[in-house]
Protein backbone atom coordinates (compact mmCIF):
# COMPACT_ATOMS: atom_id res chain seq x y z
CA UNK A 1 0.00 0.00 0.00
CA UNK A 2 1.19 3.52 -0.80
CA UNK A 3 2.25 5.43 2.28
CA UNK A 4 -0.14 8.31 2.96
CA UNK A 5 0.33 10.79 5.79
CA UNK A 6 -2.39 12.65 7.64
CA UNK A 7 -1.89 16.04 9.31
CA UNK A 8 -2.55 16.06 13.08
CA UNK A 9 -2.18 19.86 13.08
CA UNK A 10 -5.30 20.39 11.00
CA UNK A 11 -8.56 21.26 12.82
CA UNK A 12 -10.13 18.27 11.05
CA UNK A 13 -10.17 15.12 13.25
CA UNK A 14 -7.77 12.40 12.13
CA UNK A 15 -10.53 9.85 11.70
CA UNK A 16 -12.29 12.23 9.30
CA UNK A 17 -9.09 12.80 7.34
CA UNK A 18 -8.62 9.06 7.10
CA UNK A 19 -12.22 8.56 6.07
CA UNK A 20 -11.76 11.07 3.23
CA UNK A 21 -8.53 9.38 2.16
CA UNK A 22 -10.23 5.98 1.96
CA UNK A 23 -13.28 7.47 0.26
CA UNK A 24 -10.97 8.99 -2.33
CA UNK A 25 -9.70 5.54 -3.25
CA UNK A 26 -13.27 4.35 -3.74
CA UNK A 27 -14.41 7.32 -5.80
CA UNK A 28 -11.28 7.29 -7.97
CA UNK A 29 -11.85 3.63 -8.83
CA UNK A 30 -8.64 2.45 -7.18
CA UNK A 31 -10.80 0.37 -4.87
CA UNK A 32 -13.56 -1.19 -6.95
CA UNK A 33 -16.82 -2.79 -5.69
CA UNK A 34 -16.03 -6.14 -4.09
CA UNK A 35 -12.45 -5.16 -3.22
CA UNK A 36 -11.34 -6.26 0.27
CA UNK A 37 -9.72 -3.23 1.88
CA UNK A 38 -6.54 -3.50 3.97
CA UNK A 39 -6.82 -4.80 7.52
CA UNK A 40 -6.89 -2.52 10.56
CA UNK A 41 -3.22 -3.28 11.22
CA UNK A 42 -2.26 -2.44 7.64
CA UNK A 43 -4.15 0.84 7.76
CA UNK A 44 -2.55 1.71 11.11
CA UNK A 45 0.92 1.15 9.63
CA UNK A 46 0.25 2.97 6.39
CA UNK A 47 -1.43 6.05 7.86
CA UNK A 48 0.40 6.10 11.22
CA UNK A 49 -2.75 6.44 13.29
CA UNK A 50 -4.32 4.61 16.20
CA UNK A 51 -6.63 1.62 15.97
CA UNK A 52 -9.46 3.80 17.29
CA UNK A 53 -8.96 6.29 14.44
CA UNK A 54 -9.05 3.49 11.86
CA UNK A 55 -12.18 1.95 13.35
CA UNK A 56 -14.03 5.28 13.49
CA UNK A 57 -13.20 6.03 9.85
CA UNK A 58 -14.25 2.59 8.65
CA UNK A 59 -17.45 2.62 10.70
CA UNK A 60 -18.42 5.96 9.14
CA UNK A 61 -17.94 4.55 5.64
CA UNK A 62 -19.96 1.46 6.55
CA UNK A 63 -22.78 3.64 7.88
CA UNK A 64 -22.81 5.68 4.67
CA UNK A 65 -22.94 2.55 2.53
CA UNK A 66 -19.50 2.77 0.92
CA UNK A 67 -18.13 -0.27 2.77
CA UNK A 68 -19.66 -3.47 4.13
CA UNK A 69 -18.31 -5.85 6.73
CA UNK A 70 -18.47 -9.62 6.22
CA UNK A 71 -18.05 -11.63 9.39
CA UNK A 72 -14.77 -13.53 9.35
CA UNK A 73 -13.85 -12.33 5.86
CA UNK A 74 -13.04 -8.64 6.10
CA UNK A 75 -14.36 -5.28 4.95
CA UNK A 76 -15.32 -4.83 1.31
CA UNK A 77 -16.13 -1.95 -1.00
CA UNK A 78 -19.86 -1.79 -1.56
CA UNK A 79 -21.56 -1.21 -4.87
CA UNK A 80 -21.91 2.48 -5.61
CA UNK A 81 -25.34 3.79 -4.75
CA UNK A 82 -27.33 5.62 -7.36
CA UNK A 83 -28.15 9.11 -6.15
CA UNK A 84 -31.23 11.17 -6.88
CA UNK A 85 -30.90 14.84 -6.03
CA UNK A 86 -34.05 16.31 -4.56
CA UNK A 87 -35.33 19.66 -5.73
CA UNK A 88 -35.62 18.92 -9.45
CA UNK A 89 -38.56 17.32 -11.23
CA UNK A 90 -36.90 14.53 -13.18
CA UNK A 91 -37.72 10.94 -13.98
CA UNK A 92 -35.68 7.82 -13.34
CA UNK A 93 -34.27 7.69 -16.88
CA UNK A 94 -33.03 11.28 -16.72
CA UNK A 95 -31.37 10.75 -13.34
CA UNK A 96 -29.60 7.56 -14.43
CA UNK A 97 -28.41 9.00 -17.74
CA UNK A 98 -26.97 12.04 -15.96
CA UNK A 99 -24.94 9.69 -13.76
CA UNK A 100 -23.56 7.71 -16.67
CA UNK A 101 -25.80 4.64 -16.42
CA UNK A 102 -27.92 3.17 -19.19
CA UNK A 103 -31.55 3.35 -18.04
CA UNK A 104 -34.16 0.87 -19.20
CA UNK A 105 -37.42 -0.69 -18.08
CA UNK A 106 -39.16 -4.04 -18.02
CA UNK A 107 -42.92 -3.68 -18.50
CA UNK A 108 -44.96 -5.84 -16.12
CA UNK A 109 -48.45 -4.79 -17.11
CA UNK A 110 -50.82 -2.06 -18.29
CA UNK A 111 -54.21 -2.15 -16.60
CA UNK A 112 -57.38 -0.06 -16.75
CA UNK A 113 -58.64 0.68 -13.25
CA UNK A 114 -62.30 1.32 -12.51
CA UNK A 115 -63.66 3.54 -9.75
CA UNK A 116 -64.01 0.64 -7.33
CA UNK A 117 -60.61 -0.83 -8.23
CA UNK A 118 -58.58 1.15 -5.72
CA UNK A 119 -56.64 -1.70 -4.16
CA UNK A 120 -54.99 -4.03 -6.61
CA UNK A 121 -54.03 -7.52 -5.45
CA UNK A 122 -50.46 -6.96 -6.62
CA UNK A 123 -50.09 -3.79 -4.53
CA UNK A 124 -50.44 -3.15 -0.83
CA UNK A 125 -51.34 0.53 -1.03
CA UNK A 126 -54.43 2.55 -1.91
CA UNK A 127 -54.55 4.37 -5.22
CA UNK A 128 -55.88 7.94 -4.89
CA UNK A 129 -58.09 9.59 -7.48
CA UNK A 130 -56.43 12.01 -9.89
CA UNK A 131 -58.60 15.12 -9.83
CA UNK A 132 -61.65 12.86 -9.65
CA UNK A 133 -60.95 11.47 -13.12
CA UNK A 134 -62.02 7.89 -13.77
CA UNK A 135 -60.88 5.64 -15.28
CA UNK A 136 -57.23 5.53 -14.47
CA UNK A 137 -54.61 3.42 -16.16
CA UNK A 138 -51.90 1.66 -14.19
CA UNK A 139 -48.52 1.10 -15.83
CA UNK A 140 -46.18 -1.04 -13.74
CA UNK A 141 -42.52 -1.33 -14.70
CA UNK A 142 -39.23 -2.54 -13.29
CA UNK A 143 -36.64 0.23 -13.64
CA UNK A 144 -33.09 -0.84 -14.43
CA UNK A 145 -29.68 0.83 -14.55
CA UNK A 146 -27.10 -0.99 -16.67
CA UNK A 147 -29.59 -3.90 -16.75
CA UNK A 148 -29.67 -4.21 -12.95
CA UNK A 149 -33.12 -3.93 -11.30
CA UNK A 150 -33.18 -0.83 -9.11
CA UNK A 151 -36.85 -0.03 -8.57
CA UNK A 152 -40.41 -1.16 -9.15
CA UNK A 153 -42.61 1.67 -10.43
CA UNK A 154 -46.40 1.69 -10.09
CA UNK A 155 -47.67 4.72 -12.04
CA UNK A 156 -51.27 5.84 -12.51
CA UNK A 157 -52.50 8.22 -15.21
CA UNK A 158 -55.83 9.63 -16.41
CA UNK A 159 -56.98 7.82 -19.51
CA UNK A 160 -56.16 10.66 -21.93
CA UNK A 161 -52.59 10.91 -20.63
CA UNK A 162 -52.17 7.12 -20.70
CA UNK A 163 -53.30 7.13 -24.33
CA UNK A 164 -50.37 9.39 -25.19
CA UNK A 165 -47.92 7.11 -23.42
CA UNK A 166 -49.36 3.94 -24.92
CA UNK A 167 -48.43 5.09 -28.42
CA UNK A 168 -44.80 4.47 -27.48
CA UNK A 169 -42.77 1.46 -26.37
CA UNK A 170 -43.52 1.39 -22.64
CA UNK A 171 -40.47 -0.78 -22.00
CA UNK A 172 -38.11 1.95 -23.10
CA UNK A 173 -39.67 5.40 -22.91
CA UNK A 174 -39.10 8.13 -20.38
CA UNK A 175 -42.65 9.23 -19.55
CA UNK A 176 -41.90 12.91 -18.96
CA UNK A 177 -40.01 13.34 -22.23
CA UNK A 178 -42.89 11.75 -24.18
CA UNK A 179 -45.47 13.99 -22.52
CA UNK A 180 -43.48 17.14 -23.26
CA UNK A 181 -43.10 16.11 -26.91
CA UNK A 182 -46.88 15.91 -27.00
CA UNK A 183 -47.53 19.30 -25.44
CA UNK A 184 -48.08 18.19 -21.83
CA UNK A 185 -45.70 20.30 -19.76
CA UNK A 186 -45.00 19.51 -16.13
CA UNK A 187 -44.64 22.22 -13.52
CA UNK A 188 -44.08 20.64 -10.11
CA UNK A 189 -44.61 17.55 -7.96
CA UNK A 190 -45.32 16.80 -4.32
CA UNK A 191 -43.24 13.88 -3.13
CA UNK A 192 -43.23 11.82 0.06
CA UNK A 193 -40.35 9.50 0.92
CA UNK A 194 -40.40 6.74 3.51
CA UNK A 195 -38.68 3.49 4.46
CA UNK A 196 -40.49 0.17 4.02
CA UNK A 197 -39.65 -3.53 3.89
CA UNK A 198 -39.88 -5.52 0.68
CA UNK A 199 -42.99 -7.66 0.31
CA UNK A 200 -43.04 -10.88 -1.68
CA UNK A 201 -43.58 -9.17 -5.04
CA UNK A 202 -40.97 -6.49 -4.35
CA UNK A 203 -38.42 -9.15 -3.47
CA UNK A 204 -39.20 -11.15 -6.60
CA UNK A 205 -38.89 -8.26 -9.03
CA UNK A 206 -35.97 -6.45 -7.38
CA UNK A 207 -34.02 -9.66 -6.68
CA UNK A 208 -33.68 -8.99 -2.95
CA UNK A 209 -34.70 -10.90 0.15
CA UNK A 210 -38.26 -10.46 1.39
CA UNK A 211 -38.15 -7.96 4.25
CA UNK A 212 -35.15 -6.10 2.80
CA UNK A 213 -35.03 -2.33 3.30
CA UNK A 214 -36.56 -0.30 0.47
CA UNK A 215 -37.02 3.41 -0.12
CA UNK A 216 -40.58 4.23 -1.15
CA UNK A 217 -41.31 7.42 -3.05
CA UNK A 218 -44.87 8.60 -3.71
CA UNK A 219 -45.19 11.41 -6.21
CA UNK A 220 -48.12 13.59 -7.27
CA UNK A 221 -47.23 15.50 -10.46
CA UNK A 222 -49.00 18.59 -11.81
CA UNK A 223 -48.88 20.18 -15.23
CA UNK A 224 -48.68 23.90 -16.02
CA UNK A 225 -52.50 24.11 -15.83
CA UNK A 226 -52.41 22.85 -12.23
CA UNK A 227 -53.94 19.55 -13.28
CA UNK A 228 -52.90 16.50 -11.29
CA UNK A 229 -51.86 14.06 -13.99
CA UNK A 230 -49.68 11.47 -12.28
CA UNK A 231 -49.57 9.42 -9.14
CA UNK A 232 -46.57 7.13 -8.86
CA UNK A 233 -45.43 4.82 -6.09
CA UNK A 234 -41.84 3.76 -6.70
CA UNK A 235 -39.93 1.35 -4.47
CA UNK A 236 -36.15 1.49 -4.68
CA UNK A 237 -33.60 -0.99 -3.42
CA UNK A 238 -32.15 0.47 -0.24
CA UNK A 239 -28.73 -1.02 -0.97
CA UNK A 240 -28.45 0.59 -4.41
CA UNK A 241 -30.24 3.90 -4.16
CA UNK A 242 -30.11 7.04 -2.06
CA UNK A 243 -31.49 10.57 -2.11
CA UNK A 244 -29.41 13.71 -1.78
CA UNK A 245 -30.62 17.16 -0.85
CA UNK A 246 -28.60 20.33 -0.32
CA UNK A 247 -29.96 22.60 2.41
CA UNK A 248 -29.26 26.31 2.77
CA UNK A 249 -29.80 28.61 5.71
Rounded to 5 degrees, φ, ψ at 220 are -115, 115
**What are the structural domains, with CATH classification, of the chain?**
14-77 (1.10.10.10), 82-244 (3.40.1410.10)
Return the pLDDT at 5.
66
Return the pLDDT at 95.
67
Q: How confident is the model at residue 246 (pLDDT cuts 50, 70, 90)?
A: low
109 bridge partner residues? 140
CA atoms within 13 A on the CB side of 165: 24
Q: How confident is the model at residue 150 (pLDDT cuts 50, 70, 90)?
A: confident
Residue of higher predicted confidence among 122 and 219: 219
Return the pLDDT at 203.
92
Q: For 174-228, what is each residue's pLDDT tens digit?
A: 888 888 888 888 888 888 888 899 999 999 999 999 999 898 988 888 887 888 8
Residues written for the chain: 249
**Displacement of CA 27 from its chain's centroid (Å):** 18
Residue of higher predicted confidence among 165 and 176: 165
DSSP SS3 for 160:
helix
Cα separation, 82 vs 102, in Å, equals 12
Q: What is the per-residue DSSP string for 62-128?
A: HHTTSEEEETTTEEEEPPPPEEEETTS---HHHHHHHTT--EEEEEEEEEEE-TT--S-TT-SSPPP
Q: For 27-85, what is each residue's pLDDT tens digit?
A: 788 898 889 999 999 999 989 889 999 988 898 888 777 888 887 888 998 876 555 54
User: Across residues 223-236, what is the average pLDDT?
Assistant: 86
Whether residue 122 has pLDDT greater than 60: no
User: Across residues 103-107, what is the average pLDDT?
Assistant: 83
Return the pLDDT at 200.
92
The fraction of the chain above a pLDDT of 90, given in percent, is: 18
Amino acid sequence: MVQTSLDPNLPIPLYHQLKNALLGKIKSGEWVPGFCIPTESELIDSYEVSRTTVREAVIELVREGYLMKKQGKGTFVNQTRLVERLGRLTGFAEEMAQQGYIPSASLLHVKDMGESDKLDSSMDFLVPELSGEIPLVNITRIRLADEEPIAIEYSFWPKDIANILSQEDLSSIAFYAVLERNGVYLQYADENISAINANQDDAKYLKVQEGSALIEMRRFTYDVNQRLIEYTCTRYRGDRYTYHVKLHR
